[in-house]
Structure 1
């Protein structure tokens, strides 16, 4: 394994002291009466979260927990990539690459690491385990602060898995940006990627020939159009003028938290209470990864890089149909993808509608998500 160096998360006290000062001096806006989450992040909840962040949250505890996993860095094409590499237990673990999205991080997968790498410790079949490779996307977390489009990321992942880690063949899974990277990777390395698992497959963009679409697909297209009008402002600014947004998010922990948790609330199966899906510690630890690495600006700039790639008109492996066998798990708080649409995008071999969970399923409902991967990949 060439050029790989061990990595440890070590945040300086000056960074934490500066954070405390910024939290203490937050200048709060007003909020319309009865706003709840309908205007964006709820003011009362954000005040509650930041009070906890300042007075009760223990970064050193979570830093130590994260450092319990084997972290590494490696330079690929001049970019330093951070990744976790956990060897699976059992006789013949399968290599599995997991790719996160936005606004989460590699932390999305921390709960599923033992579920997938050492299932015998949980009383499951010890023969169904995986070697896990969990990188931070370029521009996110502890990878270099460089924004790349998803096809370029997939090309880096191909080199990481085959050229650097030496896996001749492997499996891959992801959601959000991670799903697009996974699709691209399967098309870039069809002889290497055995199968993929996705929690979303892509969405109609209005350019489809509706006469070829089923009634369920047309209804889905209308749902997506409405969703973009009511929920898609973040995507528009991040795909056009991310730098303007970056100043506030990189400077204010309150602003950063508000921008991120609004998505965790609206994209998850919260039943009206975000803490039905995530604890305060989980929400803050994910935010902290962005804060201490100062990676929020490059993470949102990824959207502009993807938009520019799409506008270029050049063929994109991530946009092409994926022949590689695919499992699709549809969680109830995600967009209601009909199977016909999924079959347009990927070679669906398993399509399962889940009872609970949302966009960040590996973090929100780790047991259900891990079981989906194990059931699909070991059925092939």
Structure 2
């Protein structure tokens, strides 16, 4: 296995973009929903507006140039090519920070926070808050390789990330994540590899105990109610991808509008937008994210991470013992699965920062970038 790190220059063939436009033009649309709200999923008018932008006005080459300007690389780890952004701070003593996205996110989740985190002085901050950023695409996501055999679960990804940081020459580093990135980052915290100085999470895959449910305060009960609503109303995608990812994968690979609707539903349901996606996200930002699934054809391979995790859960999930790695947690109110400080303190014995924010949801770095940056800075000031 090669340990070489290769620069990666993205240049999608014009023929691929032309094929996309043909598919969009030939879309066979479903009939409209029979309700006035989003309870049946994304509304026909919203998806038609998204696709109209995709067909006229949206510029993939702009996004492509942005990715290339940041600095993209690939390296083989455990038999899979890992794509990652590596953005060095102008401050040589900056803290290396590994940031991991989730589904249906991508490395583009962090676009609005890259500048403030790497160059805080240019954004009204202090040089001591600077970070060198390493932002990998999960295996089977974006321009990382697609595993050809089962076994790429959260634990294996965490091991790959440890190799990646060592390969980059970082002896001391920190980690951040939400969604699957939160699961990977939590796993890193439990593994506590030499050099990991702390973690920051904006989502935990959290299950309260029966006793915690019984003893819940009114504030905690509201969290439990939101988690139950997520399970009953919004988690259909999770259950499909955790049990039959390949079944939905055929549609995600063949229909750009099918893929777009599958992803748009999550931006709609788990952001702090009351279902009005465009009030929080620009259409081009959503389309950029969708393109990182469409162009490399990773609808099926990304969905399989859910299946892989369910297989690994049969052999035990996260460790039950409290974590000792310094940790910071930011709970955004639009996140459907949250935990209280009291619940967090039982699971993290070195909780250096905990905060419940007033705005923001599942896509915290996109929805509230300034707040997100402040939370990351506060955590790692205390974790150093």
TM-score of Structure 1 vs Structure 2, range by shorter chain: over 0.9
Q: For residues 212-245 of structure 1, give each alpha carbon's deviation from its aligned partner in whole angstroms, at most 9, with x where no partner exists.
A: 7543556544542332112111111111011000
Give the structure 2 partner of residue 342 of structure 1: 344
CA contact (8 A) 1:151 1:316 kept: no
Matched, 1:140 2:141: yes
**1:50 aligned residue:** 51
SS of match in other structure, 1:81: strand
In the alignment, structure 1 residue 191 sits paired with structure 2 residue 194? yes
Q: CA deviation at 1:316?
A: 4.4
| C-alpha contact (below 8 Å) 1:88/1:129 kept by paired residues | yes
Distance 1:130 1:50, change over 3 A: same
Report how many aligned residue pairs link the two structures. Answer: 376
Within the candidate set 160, 170, 174, 1:171 is matched to: 174
Q: Could you tell me which residue of structure 1 aligns to residue 15 of structure 2?
A: 14
TM-score computed with the length of structure 1 as normaliser: 0.94
For 2:10, what is the secondary structure of its paired residue? Answer: coil
* Matching residue of 1:149: 153
Deviation at residue 22 of structure 1 after TM alignment: 0.5
Cα separation, 2, equivalents of 1:34 and 1:230: 15
Aligned match of 2:165: 161
Contact 2:242 2:304 in 1 (8 A): yes
Instruction: Name the TM-score, length of structure 2 as normaliser.
Output: 0.93
Unaligned residue ranges in structure 2 (runs of 5+): none
- Alpha-carbon distance, 1:69 to partner: 0.6
In structure 2, what is the Cα distance between the partners aligned to 1:258 and 1:344?
39
Structure 1 residue 200, shift from structure 2 partner: 1.5
Q: Identify the residue that residue 200 of structure 1 maps to in structure 2.
A: 203
Corresponding residue number in structure 2 for 1:303? 306
SS of the residue 2:99 aligns to:
strand
In the superposition, relative to structure 1, how do residues 56 and 377 fare at CA in structure 2: closer, same or farther (>3 Å)?
A: same
Quote how far apart the aligned CAs of 1:166 are. 1.7
* Structure 2 counterpart of 1:59: 60
| 1:71-150 map, 5 Å | 71-146=72-147, 148-150=152-154
Contact 2:100 2:135 survives alignment (8 Å) = yes
2 CA distance for matches of 1:245 and 1:188? 33
Post-superposition offset of 1:91: 4.7
Is the Cα–Cα contact under 8 Å of residues 217 and 341 in structure 1 kept in the other structure?
Answer: no
- Asked whether 1:359 is paired with 2:354, we answer no
Q: Which moved more, 1:225-234 or 1:63-72?
A: 225-234
1:117–1:38 distance in 2 versus 1, CA, 3 Å: same
Whole-Å Cα distance in 2 between the matches of residues 90 and 249 of structure 1?
Answer: 42
Q: Distance in 2 between matches of 1:221 and 1:354?
A: 17
Would you say 1:231 and 2:234 are equivalent positions? Answer: yes
Deviations 1:305-325 (A, max 9, x none): 000000124x645x6532111
Judge which range, 339-348 or 106-115, deviates more: 339-348
Contact 1:158 1:189 in 2 (8 A): no
**Alpha-carbon deviation of 1:340?**
1.8
Of 208, 229, 245, 2:248 maps to: 245
Question: Which ranges in structure 1 are unaligned for 5 or more consecutive residues?
Answer: none
- Name the CA shift for 1:379/1:41 in 2 (closer, same or farther; >3 Å): same
| Runs of 4 or more above 6 Å deviation | none
Q: CA separation in 1, counterparts of 2:225 and 2:110?
A: 32
1:235 match: secondary structure: helix
Decide whether aligned partners of structure 1 residues 52 and 223 sit closer, same or farther in structure 2, where only a CA change above 3 A counts.
closer
Q: Alpha-carbon deviations, 1:301-352, whole Å to 9, x = none? A: 1000000000124x645x6532111111111211342112222333422111
Task: Tell me how far apart the structure 2 counterparts of residues 282 and 268 of structure 1 sit (CA, whole Å).
Answer: 14
Structure 2 distance, partners of 1:320, 1:134, is 29
Secondary structure at the counterpart of residue 368 of structure 1: helix
Which string of whole-angstrom CA distances, capped at 9 and with x for unpartnered residues, describes residues 60-95 of structure 1? 121112211111000111110000111112251001
The 3-state SS of whatever aligns with 1:184 is helix
Structure-1 residue corresponding to 2:4: 3
Against the structure 1 CA distance between its residues 44 and 212, is the aligned structure 2 distance closer, same or farther, given a 3 Å change threshold? closer
**What is the deviation of 1:291?**
0.3
